[in-house]
Amino acid sequence: MRNSRGAQNLALARSRVRAKVFPCARIARILLPTAFCVAFAVPAFCQDSGSEDKEFHGRGAEITVTVHDGSGDTISTPAIVKLYREGTILSRQGETTRGSAVLVVYSLGDFTVTVVAPGFETAQKDLSVQEPGRVQMDIYLRRSADAGTVAGVPGRPLLAPKAKEVLEKGLQALNANKLKDAEKYVGEAVRLAPGHPDVLYVEGLLRLKQRNWAQAQDALAKATQVDPNDARAFAALGMAFCDEGKYGDAIAPLEKSLELDAAGSWQTRWALAKAYYERARYDEALKMSQQSLAGSNGGSPEIALLVAQSLTAVGRYEDAAQVLRAFLKDHGDLREATTARKWLQGLAANGKISTNSN
């Protein structure tokens, strides 16, 4: 099947559009800088009632807690968020809506945030609020062992306050694409906590942004060794290999990421589908690209071209043509439409599909 004329023709086409249509680097730029975000803006959904609005104005703080799963996506199941003062005194609690909960406090100070959600291990994170205003924080949950995933290793080491502070600043700079500032803050975090998995992970993201594939791979490989259950680090490592064109090396960490988090992101599946295709594993590429396209919920319609490539490679020419026609009908204004038209014309010219239906 791989030696079919259609697969050979498409292989020629793919070599011309490989870097343009499905670059893993694009996935990394879109996904990774936000996958571990600590302090980015999120929608506010108030959970508490009473006098909180009055408390907030002038002398209180509005704390938005966003809860993520291992892939970085916000969790869809409701979670209970509790805010403790000085570690023991319950100050506020609420339930997430669309992954976020907003808790308003009128007395500032140091707090501990705990999150409990069905199917996940309980998570805890410290928070210091010293000034009135709005505060945002992200918490990442591990799926519990009885939820069908690999049991977690003992809790990762805590970051010292200074290391945590500079690491969060580095993440903010990465999100804003301020690479010079990110280099400064992440470098300081590496100096303060060189072996911490979170620091290694963020260092890997920075190197990806800088297109320094070797250093990115080194940092992310170390992160997976320190915490072998971190799905996001394995996904980032696979994308780093993909970025450099090392598709064979990319497959194992991407597969591991999805093994650790079966509900992993569509971006991870997109990168894995691309790696499968480049290694001539067409059946697997088809399955993974279809899952990625469905999971993107219309956010990246160009994945359809990878689906069409995979369908052609396994000899399903009419199905490939149908995918290309649907893409052109719905997204004919995208730059990838030119490629889709050429592929459709090529299938017709080679007698793989009916000319009347082209």
pLDDT digits (tens, 9 = 90+) for 254-282: 999 999 988 778 899 999 999 999 999 99
Question: Quick check: pTM over 0.75?
Answer: no
**Burial level of 131, CB count in 10 A (0-12/13-18/19+)?**
exposed
Residues of the chain whose pLDDT is less than 70?
Answer: 1-59, 71, 86-88, 144-157, 355-358
pLDDT for residue 87: 55
**Burial level of 263, CB count in 10 A (0-12/13-18/19+)?**
middle
Cα–Cα distances in Å, from 327 out to 9, 19, 119, 129, 306? 20, 20, 37, 49, 12
Q: Where are the domains of the chain?
A: 1-22+280-358, 52-141
Strand partners, 140: 68
Strand duo 133-140 + 61-68: pairing: parallel
pLDDT for residue 10: 42
User: In CATH, what class is 52-141?
Assistant: mainly beta
pLDDT for residue 48: 34
pLDDT for residue 88: 59
CA dist., res. 201 & res. 304, Å (int): 31
pLDDT for residue 222: 92
Phi then psi for residue 246, to 5 deg, are -90, 70
pLDDT for residue 56: 42
